[in-house]
Amino acid sequence: MSLHARLVVTRPAFALDLALEVAAGEVVALLGPNGAGKTTALRALAGLTAMSPGGRITLDGHDLHHLPADRRPIGVVFQDYLLFPHLSALDNVAFGPRCQGVPKAEARRAAAALLDRVGLAGHAAARPGRLSGGQAQRVALARALAVRPRLLLLDEPLAALDAHTRLEIRSGLRHHLAGFNGATVLVTHDPLDAMVLADRLVVIEHGAVVQQGTPGEVARHPRTDYVARLVGLNLYRGTARGVGVQVGELLLSTSERLTGPAFVAFPPAAVALYRSRPDGSPRNLWPARVGGVERHGDHVRVHLDGPISAFADITPAALADLDLTPGREVWASVKATETHAYPA
Amino acid sequence: MLVGPALLGLAFLVLPLAGLLVRAPWATLPARLAEPQVLEALRLSLLSATVATAGCLLLGVPLAWLLARVEFPGRRLVRALVTVPLVLPPVVGGVALLLVLGRRGLVGEWLAATFGVTLPFTTAGVIVAEAFVAMPFLVISVEGALRGADQRYEEAAATLGASRWTVFRRVTLPMIMPGVIAGAVLCWARALGEFGATITFAGNFPGTTRTMPLAVYLALETEPEAAIVLSLVLLAVSVVILASLRDRWVSTP
């Protein structure tokens, strides 16, 4: 393991306490809702936010937590990039090496090589104000890599970009992260960024880790409502009794056989809606009330209240046929084979 | 109800300046400007105001940084103390300087005994008096610029390995330069016009401590035309400063 950390930041209205381990060459994404403590964790790693007693950071066997930011072997890509507006792209990238005592000519040569690597050789002389968002992001990445960090920290690296640029820059960033041999921690609230860029996700809520695993594991087995919403699943916690999971008053039949505390998850598209009770159905069936209806891509997402609250995705045609308005009583059903149960 | 007093106020501010222009002895102006006493006073004024401004920059910028960037107990009190010379009658400032830096003053006696340096009634005394009165303008302007500057750039520089001094020199200072320049210009203008503290602390000796404002006051009693000419020069300098501030620094902070 390259990075071992326990990040502890205690404030009057907020407490962050999480353990983080990142191997050399590994990319870990800290994923969480706003206010979960992701950025605070990143700032603590960078040395920009003081840690409370109990916090420690060890990188390649050396303690970092007692060092100020300028003495840590880190590179940071900030959310708004924070390129120095009075310096050219080249001098921004050369800034770190210059601080490390590299002679000016050599630092500029190295910076030019890095800018070339991120495809910006032609923009070396440009001031940050003249760069597009995507170009600024790449200069920021080159600037962070120029100090040859052992730990690379990225704070919402794609949040400031428009959708089109984002797609392109995301794949470019993935490529550059793959070529970096130190540990990488990236903070994002976008599940797609996290899934594409990271080898492992660490989901944070209220200053603590609620789930971690590979993107695939987290997407298949969400353990909190936040993660379930991120990956687009209905999620319930209940007690498994063989072929079903008791969730409140409702027994949901599942294809897996389990006992004890368990989660059940199913996608909104697996939920079918009926105006009247369907006959002789072997499915999970429950009465629900329409809470709201919203457009969701090329389908319609229906919010259901009832014994369990759920999302159902239906076609616009089905919405018209069923005449679903908020407050209407419907029957909802899900096939057992479309559900997925796993131990809690 | 509002336009009347507004016009009256405008007239009140502009008329005296217009009077200066109307009564100026335009025919004899070139000859008067070339008089040795005028040139001497002008040279002394420009020199002492410039040196005083340089001194203020050297001490005032770090002081502004301290006030804006370092948390320490009593910071509000220190900020209040810094602004005292701003509201203090300059004559009082001159008296206070005499008590501290005078030949028998708290620090002055030690300065005289140790280095043989006496400040009162010397050009150095003029510079000290001007700096005392003008430095708050610089400190306040630079502190405002520091508070307005985005500190995250300084954090970014720190993560790149920059020490506190490097951060200040290569990131903070370039970013607040408009504020520093505006502050320095205000400081210089204030130093150039300094009268009360200068005459109290440094006296009124031609060639060494008689700056333009002192020369204006003196000339008014003996030959009013000379006073008008000297005043015109100071007015011209003020207008140039105002114009340069507006166009280049104040509008683009």
Does A88 lie in the same domain as A31?
A: yes
Does A71 lie in the same domain as A201?
A: yes
Does A214 lie in the same domain as A82?
A: yes
Give the mean model confidence (pLDDT) for residues A300-325.
88
- Is 70 exceeded by the pLDDT of residue B67? yes
State the average pLDDT for chain A. 90
- Is 90 exceeded by the pLDDT of residue A34? no
Q: What pLDDT was estimated at residue A26?
A: 94
Q: What is the CATH number of the domain that holds A114?
A: 3.40.50.300
Does A207 lie in the same domain as A261?
A: no
Does A67 lie in the same domain as A129?
A: yes
Chain B residues touching A84 at Cβ < 8 A: 153, 156-157, 170-171, 174-175
Chain B residues touching A80 at Cβ < 8 A: 152
Does A52 lie in the same domain as A160?
A: yes
What 3 state SS string does B166-180 have? HHHHHHHHHHHHHHH
- Using the Cα atoms of residue A244, residue A245, residue A249 and residue A250 in order, give the sign of their dihedral: negative
Q: What are A230's strand-pairing partners?
A: none
Looking at A194, A229, A264, which one is the last position of a domain? A229
Give the mean model confidence (pLDDT) for residues B178-193.
91
Looking at A185, A203, A229, which one is the last position of a domain? A229
- Using the Cα atoms of residue B87, residue B88, residue B89 and residue B94 in order, give the sign of their dihedral: negative
Tokens representing A219 are 């997407």
Q: What pLDDT was estimated at residue A295?
A: 86
- Is 90 exceeded by the pLDDT of residue A17? yes
What is the C-alpha separation between A149 and A2, in angstroms, rounded? Answer: 12
Domain with A88, as residue range(s), is 3-229
Question: Would you call B162 and A78 a contact, using CB atoms and an 8 Å cutoff?
Answer: no
Q: Is A82 on the interface with B (CB under 8 A)?
A: yes
Taking only the tens place, the pLDDT of each residue in A153-202 is: 999 999 888 888 888 889 889 999 999 999 999 999 888 888 889 999 99
Tokens representing A55 are 């916090």
Taking only the tens place, the pLDDT of each residue in B16-63 is: 989 888 888 888 888 888 888 888 888 999 999 999 999 999 999 999
Q: Which of A78, A86, A144 faces B152 most closely, judged by CB atoms?
A: A78
Does A203 lie in the same domain as A106?
A: yes
Q: Is B180 on the interface with A (CB under 8 A)?
A: no
Q: What is the CATH number of the domain that holds A332?
A: 2.40.50.100
Count of domains for chain A = 2
Chain B residues touching A100 at Cβ < 8 A: 161
Does A251 lie in the same domain as A184?
A: no
Q: What pLDDT was estimated at residue B35?
A: 85
Give the mean model confidence (pLDDT) for residues A236-265.
86
Q: Pick the residue of B152, B159, B171 with the most A CBs within 10 A to test the interface with A by mutation.
A: B159
CATH code that applies to domain B51-250:
1.10.3720.10
Percent residues over pLDDT 90 in chain B? 57
- Is 80 exceeded by the pLDDT of residue A281? no
The verdict on ipTM greater than 0.90 is no
Q: What pLDDT was estimated at residue A206?
A: 92
Taking only the tens place, the pLDDT of each residue in B187-242 is: 999 999 999 999 999 988 888 899 999 999 988 888 888 888 889 888 888 888 87
How sure is the predictor about A4, in pLDDT bands with cuts at 50, 70 and 90? very high
Length of chain A: 344
Q: How many CA atoms lie within 13 A of A265 on its CB side?
A: 21
Does A173 lie in the same domain as A28?
A: yes
Does A260 lie in the same domain as A200?
A: no
What 3 state SS string does chain A have? CCEEEEEEEEECCEEEEEEEEECCCCEEEEECCCCCCHHHHHHHHHCCCCCCCCCEEEECCEECCCCCHHHCCEEEECCCCCCCCCCCHHHHHHHHHHHCCCCHHHHHHHHHHHHHHCCCHHHCCCCHHHCCHHHHHHHHHHHHHHCCCCEEEEECCCCCCCHHHHHHHHHHHHHHHHCCCCEEEEEECCHHHHHHHCCEEEEEECCEEEEEECHHHHHHCCCCHHHHHHHCCEEEEEEEEEEEEEECCEEEEEEEEEEEEEEEEECHHHCEEECCCCCCCCCEEEEEEEEEEEEECCEEEEEEECCCCEEEEECHHHHHHHCCCCCCEEEEEECHHHCEEEEC
Percent residues over pLDDT 90 in chain A? 54
Q: What pLDDT was estimated at residue B253?
A: 40
- Is 70 exceeded by the pLDDT of residue A142? yes
Q: What pLDDT was estimated at residue A1?
A: 55
What is the C-alpha separation between B62 and B83, in angstroms, rounded? Answer: 16
Q: What pLDDT was estimated at residue B248?
A: 55
Looking at A173, A197, A229, which one is the last position of a domain? A229
Does A273 lie in the same domain as A178?
A: no
- Is 50 exceeded by the pLDDT of residue A74? yes
From B184's Cα to the closest Cα of chain A, the distance in A is 21
* Cα end-to-end distance, chain B, whole Å: 36
Does A225 lie in the same domain as A239?
A: no
Q: Contact B123/B209 with Cβ under 8 angstroms?
A: yes
Q: What pLDDT was estimated at residue B247?
A: 61
Please report how the helices B173-192 and B224-244 are oriented relative to each other, as an axis angle in degrees rounded to 10: 170
Q: With a CB-CB cutoff of 8 Å, which residues 312-341 of chain A face chain B?
A: none
